[in-house]
Amino acid sequence: MNPIAPIKSIFQSFKGRHHRKYLKKCAPIVRKINELEEEFQNLSEEQLKAKTPEFIERFQKGESLESMLPEAFAVVKNAARRMCGRSISVCDHPIGWEMIHYDVQLIGGMALHERHIAEMATGEGKTLVSTCPLYLNALSGKNCQLVTVNDYLARRDSHWMGSLFEYLGLTVGCIQNNMPSAERREMYQKNITYGTASEFGFDYLRDNGMATCVDDQVQRDHYFCIIDEADSILVDEARTPLIISGPMREDHPLPFKEMKPVVMKLFDAQLKHCNKLAEEAKRAFASEELDDDGG
């Protein structure tokens, strides 16, 4: 077996043709969403809002989220259309709602629902993109989360996009720095929760390392999460670990010095292995150019 083949297959998945195939696959679903949304324009406001409990009941009876995706996305798009012209209070400042989902935003929402990374150009409205997959997954009754880069954006988007979710009958929460545990627990009880990576991360560490009983834990589910600015949060900020520390016990000192040689040995082995894989990838590209027009 060619040792380069697995590496080549990984890079093949990132090629442009994969992107084009995905757009082709999404096209009929987008058409279906737009057809349904046009039909929903004839519903009364009460009838549109009644779609949310209807979807939840259908999910509880065994219908999958994937089968409900066109209808759910169409409901969110129609709700956005009906909200146009309204004034939304965002961080105590009025903002007029003037957004309706474009096709590219619907495709981005489908990609996020399917756990893909969606790269969007400036001006394509990535903030609105998250509303469709968040709404769809929140129909499961489990807590869905959106991770953003700072407290202000978390609060802003929980008000701004949250107004759309609340219009459709879902509850929205926001985790902020220095928020007491009781309030955090309340925010996690909502259908959708906004917050930063560090706040979600520290809550997880406290729940699984410092909480002495279930009542002390604040998080509810780890079901569906969208990460805004994924490169920044998963790569740049990920280099700084989340550390919960306290005073060291003198009678039982932690074995840092004892474990350091073992950890350094593991680190060196990982570094050598990664360098080896990188060199194999370079040789693969040098020896055989990937064909963009291939099958």
Q: Enter the pTM of the model.
A: 0.78
C-alpha–C-alpha distance, residues 268 and 274, integer Å = 10
Q: Where are the strands (E) in the chain, listed by range?
A: 87-90, 93-96, 144-148, 172-174, 192-196, 224-227
Contact 120, 132 (CB under 8 A): no
Q: What is the DSSP secondary-structure string of 201-221?
A: HHHHHHHHHT-SSGGG-----
pLDDT band at residue 295 under the 50/70/90 scheme:
very low
Instruction: Kindly indicate the confidence band of residue 251, based on its pLDDT and cuts at 50, 70 and 90.
Output: low
Residue 291 or 279, more confident: 279
The confidence score (pLDDT) of residue 287 equals 75
Closest CA to 88 of 193, 150, 165: 165
Region 225-231: mean pLDDT is 91
Residue with tokens 């998080």: 219
Are 135 and 165 spatial neighbours (Cβ–Cβ below 8 Å)? yes
Give the rounded percent of residues in the chain with a pLDDT score beyond 90.
64
What average pLDDT does this structure show over 33-53? Answer: 98
Write down the pLDDT at residue 6.
61
Whether the pLDDT of residue 181 is over 70: the answer is yes
- Domain with residues 15-242, CATH architecture: 3-Layer(aba) Sandwich (3.40)
Q: Quick check: 107 and 125 in contact, CB under 8 A?
A: no
Question: Rounded CA gap, 233 and 271, in Å?
Answer: 22
Per residue in 260-278, pLDDT (tens digit) is 889 899 989 999 998 898 8
The pLDDT value given to residue 241: 76
Q: Which residues does residue 148 pair with via DSSP β-bridges, in sequence order?
A: 196
Distance CA 132, CA 137 (A): 9
Domain ranges of the chain: 15-242
Give 235's pLDDT tier (boundaries 50, 70, 90): confident
Phi-psi region of 85 (alpha: psi -120 to 50; beta: other; left: phi over 0): left
Q: Which residue has the tokens 């065994």?
A: 62
Sign of CA dihedral 20, 23, 25, 28: negative
Strand pairing report for 192-196 and 144-148? parallel
8 Å CB contact between 195 and 154: yes
Nearest alpha carbon to residue 133 among 106, 156, 154: 106
Task: Decide: helix, strand or coil at residue 89.
Answer: strand
Compute CA distances 90 → 7, 52, 148, 162, 274, whole Å. 47, 24, 16, 10, 45
* Whether pLDDT at 291 is above 80: no
Angle between helices 5-12 and 256-287 (to 10 degrees): 80
